[in-house]
Amino acid sequence: MAAGAQASKVFSLYKRILVLHRFLPIHLRALGDNYVKDEFRRHKNASPEEAKSFMREWENYKDTLQSQVLESVRDQNGSLKFGINIPVEKLKDFQDEQIGQLYELLLESTKPNNQFNIHEDK
């Protein structure tokens, strides 16, 4: 795939994820937006093999989040449920650094909502 077409695909995925984050509760949106921006920035110069794996995982994330957003829109009782459990088999494939990032993400996502000084637009 040409470099321009690949860059367009990456940018499109990045923007779609940020759009989907608009449906998250404000504290999760802030956390998710910062995490996505950091991850895409850190992988800007990844090897082709790393980039392929990176894109596959973020496509999976986008698909999962999109399904959950659509489900929450259909579910009229107001309960929002986002996220999935990661199978142990998949965790075994993670590098130590990824496990550390996952743990930090867990800690950040379970802090009280008032950790951010963010006001949602009405």
pLDDT at 119: 55
**DSSP secondary structure letter of residue 94:** S
pTM, rounded to two decimals:
0.73
Classify each residue of 55-64 as buried b or exposed e, where b means 16 or more C-beta atoms within 10 Å of its C-beta.
Answer: beebeebbee
Determine the Cα–Cα distance for residues 60 and 22; give it in Å rounded to an integer.
18
pLDDT at 73: 73
Helix, coil or strand: residue 119: coil
Over the chain (122 residues), what is each successive 10-residue block's mean pLDDT? 80 96 88 93 91 94 92 70 82 86 82 59 56
Determine the Cα–Cα distance for residues 75 and 16; give it in Å rounded to an integer.
22
**DSSP secondary structure letter of residue 115:** G
